[in-house]
Structure 1
Amino acid sequence: MMRSIGNKGTLMVAPALQNSSCSHSRYGPSGPPISIGGLAQAAFILTLSIGILAANLLLIIVINTRRYSKYIHSQPRYLLTSLASNDLAIGLLVTPFGVLPAVYQCWPYSDIVCQIQALLRGALTQQSAVILVCMAVDRYTCMLHPVKYHKHSTKKCLLQGCMALLSLTLIASLTVFSALVLPRGGYYFNLSGLAACDPFYRRPSLRILAACFFYFPTTMMLMYCYGSAFHVNKLRLKRTVCSVVGVPEDLAGTTIEKLVAHERRLSRSASRTMAAMSLGFIVMVTPWTIQEVVVACTGSKMPPALDFMITWLALSNSFWNPFLYWLLNNHFRRISRELFVSKIFCCRKKPTNPPSTSVSMHCCSTGASIPLPVPANRADFEGMSEKHWGEILERTVSSNSLQAMQRVYPPPPPPATLPRRTHQ
C-alpha cells in the first residue's frame, strides 16, 4: 500500500498486522486452513532451525575445549565463538517463529512479538556481516604482518578491544533498527518470503540503501582482505616470516623451523576455513540482495515460492558457517566425534597404563566395563597427563638403563668366606 506526498516522492505504508492475524474474523470458528505447501515450508524451517542450533552449539563447545586450544589461536577462537553465538541467536530467536505462520499462512502471535522479530531479524543479520569483516581483518593482519600479530594477539587488551568493538557494533545495529522498527508501521508480516515479521521501509530508497550497505561493503572487505592475504602468503611461502616468542637461544635451528612451520600451518588452516565461510556468505546473500534492489526499483513482487527460497537461502548461512568449518578442519571433526561419543552416549574411557593394548569403556547406563582392543599405532598420546609420562620415564630408567649399567660395570665378586659358610 502506498500514498503520494507531493514533491517528496512516494511514501509506503505497511499493511496492518491485524489483517494477517490468525484470529481474524474471516477464518471463522474452524481457524485458518492448512495446506500441503504450508506444511512443507514449515518442515523446512523447523529442520533448518534445528540444524542451526545444533551446528553452532557444537562449534562453540569444541573450539573452546582444552584439547582444541593447541590447534587455534586465541583471537580467531574468540571471533569464531562470537559468530557462532550470533548465528545461535538467529536459530533461537528468529527462524523458529516462522514455523507456525508457514503452517497456517497467518501470524499467530501478538503485535509485540512481531516487533521484536523484525528488530532481531535486521540487527542480528547485520552483526553477522560485521563479525565476518572482523575475521577477514584478523586474517589479513596475521598473513601480512605475522611478527606483530603473534606478538600482540595473546594480549588481553587486544581481546578486550575486539570484544568492545563487536559490542559497539551490535549496540549500533540494535539502535538503528529500533529507530526503524519501533515506530508504528515500521514492521510487517512477510508471508511470501520470511513467513515471519520483517522491517518495513517507508521509502524504496531506504530499502535499496539497507540492502546495499549490508552487502557491498562486507563483500568488498572480504574479497580484499583474503585476496591480499593469500597472495602475500604465496609469495612468502619459502621465507621465514614468523618469530617464535619465548624460545631459548640454545635450541637447535631445526626445532625453531618446526615451530615456525607449525605456526604457518595453523595460520593457513584458519585463513582457509574463514575464507570459505566468507565465500559461503557471499554466495548465499547475493540472490537476496539482487531481489531487494529489483523489487524496490520496479515496485513489483516476486513469486511467493521464489521469494521464500531466496530469503531462506540467505538465512541458511547461519547453518553453513559451522558446517564449512567442520568440513575443512580434520582436528575439529576428530574432537567433535570424540565428544559426541563420550557425552551423547554417556561413555567415558578409563585411563590405563600406556603399554597396555586395551582400554576399558565404562557406560553410565549399565555400569559394566567392556574391554576394547586399540591398535598400537592409533594410541592417543595427546590426552596423557604429565604423571603418565613421568611413570614411563621412571620405568625406563629403573629397568633398561640400570640393566645396561650393570652390563658395563659388573658387580664385584663375593668374598671368599661366603661360599664356605654356605657350604657348611
Structure 2
Amino acid sequence: MQTTTGLFCYESLSGSCTRYARPLSIQVPMFTAMGLAILVTVMGNLLVITSIAHFKQLQTSTNQLLLSLAVCDLLLGGFVMPCSAVRSVQGCWYLGEFMCKLHTSTDIMLSSSSILHLSFISIDRYFAVCRPMRYKLIISNNTVWIMVATSWLVPAIFAFGMIFSELNLKGREVFYETNVKCVGGCQVFFSPMAAVASSFCFYIPGFILICLYFKIYWVARAQAKSIKDLSRQVREADSGRRARRGANILAIVVGVFFACWCPFFLCLIIDPFILYSVPPQFADTLVWLGYLNSTFNPIVYAFFYTCKNIDTKSCHLPTRPFYIKGELL
C-alpha cells in the first residue's frame, strides 16, 4: 500500500488512496521521460509495420512474426503505457474499477504476448541457422500462423481470465481488502500462487530464448571457422568480422530481453513471500523497465540487421541475422 502523504486521490471519499505529493519539478521530468518512451515505442513499431506492409519483398511468412510483435508492442505503447504514466506519477487511477481491470488485463496480455513472440522468433532463427535444409519444411506459413495465434490467444486467456475472475487474489483476499484495496487505486496484486504462475510467462520463454540463441551462436561460430579454414586470407578477415558481428547481435538480443524483464519478474515472485514489503514506487519502476523492452524490440530485431539483397525474397528484415543466400553476415 502507498505511504501516506497527506493527499488523497478523492478528497471527499472515505477509504481513498493516498496520492503522491510530488512537486512539478519532479512530475514534469517524469512525464517527459515516459512520454518520450511512449513516442519511441509507437513510432519505432509503426515504422516496422509500415515497412513490411509497403515492401513486397519483406512480406514473407517469417516476417509475420515480426509484424505481429510490432503490433503487440504498438498497442502496449499506444494504449497501456499512457494510462500507466498517469498512475505512476500521481499514484491514482481515475477511470474506475472496470477500466482498471481492463487495463491490467491488457497490460499483462500484451507484455506476455511480446515475450512469447520473442521466443517464437528464436525458434524460427534456430531452424534457419541450425537446420537450414529443413527450415522451409518445418517453418511453413501454417506454422507461422499457429505461432502468431498462440502468441495472442494464450496470454489473452491467461490475463483476462485471471484478473476478471480475481484468481490473482486467491489465498490473499483478506490481506488485499485490508491493506491494499482503496478508492482510486489500480495496483496489480498477486498472491503467491498467482505470482508463480505469472512468472512462468517469462521464465519458460526466456529459457527457450537463451538456449536457442546460444545454440545459434555456437553453430554460427563453427560455420564461420569452417569458412575461414577453406577461404583465402582476404576472406578470412571478412568472415571473422562477420562472425563477431553476429555474436554481438545475439548478445544484444538476449541481453536487452533479460535486462528489461528479469528485475520485474524477480520482484514479482519474491514480493508475496516477503509480505509485500517492496515499495510500490520501486515496483512501478521495474514495470516501466519491462515496458522498455517493447521500445527496444524494433531497434534490436529490425534496425540492427542489415539487408544486402533488399530486392530478393530471400531477404528477411530482422530474422536473417546470419545467412542471406548462404552468406554469413
Give the alignment's TM-score, normalised by structure 2: 0.70
Q: Determine the structure 2 residue equivalent to 1:209.
A: 197
Q: Is the 8 A contact 1:204 1:297 kept in 2?
A: yes
C-alpha spacing 1:278/1:128, structure 2 compared with 1 (3 Å) = farther
Give me the identity figure in percent: 19
Query: Offset at 1:271?
Result: 9.1
- 1:166-194 alpha-carbon deviations (Å, 9 max, x no partner): 21342222122222111368589xx9xxx
Q: Which has the higher helix share?
A: 2
Letter in 2 for 1:218: P
User: 1:280-299 maps to which residues of 2 (within 5 A)?
Assistant: 280-299=256-275
Q: Is the 8 A contact 2:53 2:59 kept in 1?
A: no
Q: Is 1:226–2:213 an aligned residue pair?
A: yes
Q: How far, CA to CA, are the matches of 2:161 and 2:8 in structure 1? A: 24
Q: How far, CA to CA, are the matches of 1:50 and 1:23 in structure 2? A: 33
Q: Determine the structure 2 residue equivalent to 1:319.
A: 295
Q: How far, CA to CA, are the matches of 2:134 and 2:247 in structure 1? A: 17
C-alpha spacing 1:275/1:149, structure 2 compared with 1 (3 Å) = farther
- 1:371-404 alpha-carbon deviations (Å, 9 max, x no partner): xxxxxxxxxxxxxxxxxxxxxxxxxxxxxxxxxx
Larger C-alpha radius of gyration, 1 or 2? 1
Letter in 2 for 1:174: A
Q: How far, CA to CA, are the matches of 1:148 and 1:328 in structure 2? A: 26
Query: Offset at 1:274?
Result: 6.7
Alignment match of 1:54 (pick from 43, 54, 63): 43
- List gaps (5 residues or longer) in structure 2: 2-6, 170-175, 228-241, 311-329
Q: Determine the structure 1 residue equivalent to 2:120.
A: 134
Q: Determine the structure 2 residue equivalent to 1:173.
A: 155
Q: Is the 8 A contact 1:122 1:199 kept in 2?
A: no
Q: Is 1:80–2:80 an aligned residue pair?
A: no
Letter in 2 for 1:167: A
Letter in 2 for 1:129: I
User: 1:148-187 maps to which residues of 2 (within 5 A)?
Assistant: 148-150=134-136, 158-183=140-165
Letter in 1 for 2:194: L
Query: Offset at 1:66?
Result: 2.3
- 1:69-115 alpha-carbon deviations (Å, 9 max, x no partner): 3xx68243111111111101111221011233344431111222111
Q: How far, CA to CA, are the matches of 2:20 and 2:189 in structure 1? A: 25
Q: Determine the structure 1 residue equivalent to 2:75.
A: 89
Q: Is the 8 A contact 1:59 1:84 kept in 2?
A: yes
C-alpha spacing 1:167/1:150, structure 2 compared with 1 (3 Å) = closer
Q: How far, CA to CA, are the matches of 2:10 and 2:41 in structure 1? A: 28
C-alpha spacing 1:236/1:217, structure 2 compared with 1 (3 Å) = same
Q: How far, CA to CA, are the matches of 2:66 and 2:268 in structure 1? A: 29
Query: Offset at 1:299?
Result: 1.2
Q: How far, CA to CA, are the matches of 2:51 and 2:187 in structure 1? A: 33
Q: How far, CA to CA, are the matches of 2:250 and 2:136 in structure 1? A: 18
Q: How far, CA to CA, are the matches of 2:46 and 2:22 in structure 1? A: 33
Q: Is the 8 A contact 1:208 1:296 kept in 2?
A: no
Q: Is 1:329–2:311 an aligned residue pair?
A: no
Q: How far, CA to CA, are the matches of 2:167 and 2:193 in structure 1? A: 17
Letter in 2 for 1:100: V
Question: Size of the alignment, in residue pairs?
Answer: 276
Letter in 2 for 1:324: V
SS in 2 for 1:175: helix
Letter in 2 for 1:177: A
Q: Determine the structure 1 residue equivalent to 2:283.
A: 307
Q: How far, CA to CA, are the matches of 2:59 and 2:250 in structure 1? A: 13
Q: How far, CA to CA, are the matches of 1:45 and 1:196 in structure 2? A: 20
Letter in 1 for 2:189: F
Q: Is the 8 A contact 2:31 2:85 kept in 1?
A: yes
Letter in 1 for 2:224: L
SS in 2 for 1:94: helix
Deviates more, 1:300-309 or 1:227-236: 300-309
Letter in 2 for 1:328: F
Q: How far, CA to CA, are the matches of 2:54 and 2:248 in structure 1? A: 21
- List gaps (5 residues or longer) in structure 1: 2-18, 241-264, 335-424
Give the alignment's TM-score, normalised by structure 1: 0.56
Q: How far, CA to CA, are the matches of 1:106 and 1:238 in structure 2? A: 57
Q: How far, CA to CA, are the matches of 1:27 and 1:330 in structure 2? A: 56
User: 1:373-384 maps to which residues of 2 (within 5 A)?
Assistant: none
Q: How far, CA to CA, are the matches of 1:126 and 1:85 in structure 2? A: 14
Q: Is the 8 A contact 1:52 1:87 kept in 2?
A: yes
C-alpha spacing 1:271/1:56, structure 2 compared with 1 (3 Å) = farther
Q: Is the 8 A contact 1:117 1:198 kept in 2?
A: no
